[in-house]
């Protein structure tokens, strides 16, 4: 049974909860449990969308530095790709995902949030990648996902300086998508996730794959990815239900099965 990371499902919404007081430091056990929770959320038919939440006070303040201290380059070389995969595992969930961020989201914590499709932050949030202050760089996907999200110049400023970004600045630069009062962060995330409950799950997965895979390649290759995924949806029940409902009843009235 997981000690620090749990998956709770309610009304079609899965919540991956980080709970390792006092700072939700992402040690290797937390990373393993995060991978297990993400995979379970991805596989469960009763989960339409996923929230990643660190609690009312903070999201996660980074990796467990005590665990890394003293490691050799050879040891870290063997662990680095696994670290990246674990921290970014939320990106592999083929469903809409949202990070609900209160307080600190630093280092590996921010990298977990970056792996979600959307980020909703409390107005008390502080986000950053302070690894440069330890003589290293972000190693859980931060240099890549951050640059793709906010652009290379803003990403370099954050990575080079290690400075924390407040919620409003994060909103202005596109690092987060919505800012609310800290007490409202989780409910705002539930409202966003709730719109996908009862939706066309296979089409949502295809849309996510088309965008994410397309961003990693050139336009022509991305268009071919889109065409392949588009055509494959014509094998699904939801495509038949959606189009028949549109013809008979007009738009927005289909009742999808997720198959």
Catalytic residue annotation:
111, 131
The H-or-E segment that residue 76 falls in is: helix 73-87
Of 17, 247, 76, 96, the closest CA to residue 6 belongs to 17
Tokens 């899965």 belong to 14
| Measured distance between the N- and C-terminal CA atoms of the chain, rounded to whole angstroms | 30
Distance CA 88, CA 111 (A): 7
3-state SS assignment for residue 255: coil
Distance CA 157, CA 146 (A): 11
């Amino acid at each position: 049974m997981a000690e620090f990371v749990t998956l709770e499902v309610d009304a079609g919404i899965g919540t991956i909860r980080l709970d390792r007081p006092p700072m939700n430091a992402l040690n290797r056990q937390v990373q393993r449990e995060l991978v297990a929770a993400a995979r379970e959320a991805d596989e469960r038919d009763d989960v339409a969308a996923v929230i990643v939440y660190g609690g009312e006070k903070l999201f996660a303040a980074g990796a467990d530095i005590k665990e890394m201290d003293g490691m050799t380059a050879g040891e870290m070389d063997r662990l680095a790709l696994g670290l990246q995969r674990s921290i970014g595992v939320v990106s592999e969930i083929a469903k809409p995902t949202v990070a609900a961020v209160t307080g600190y989201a630093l280092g590996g914590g921010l990298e977990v949030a970056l792996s979600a499709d959307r980020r909703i932050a409390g107005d008390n949030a502080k986000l950053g990648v302070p690894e440069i202050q330890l003589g290293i760089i972000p190693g859980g996907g931060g240099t890549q996902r951050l640059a793709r999200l906010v652009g290379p110049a803003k990403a370099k400023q954050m990575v080079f300086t290690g400075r924390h970004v407040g919620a409003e600045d994060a909103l202005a630069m596109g690092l987060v998508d919505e800012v609310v009062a800290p007490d409202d962060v989780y409910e705002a995330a539930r409202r966003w996730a709730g719109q996908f409950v009862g939706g066309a799950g296979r089409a949502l997965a295809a849309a996510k794959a088309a965008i994410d895979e397309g961003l990693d390649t050139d336009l022509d290759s991305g268009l071919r990815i889109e065409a392949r995924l588009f055509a494959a949806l014509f094998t699904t029940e939801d495509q038949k239900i959606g189009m028949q409902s549109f013809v008979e009843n007009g738009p927005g009235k289909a009742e999808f099965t997720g198959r």
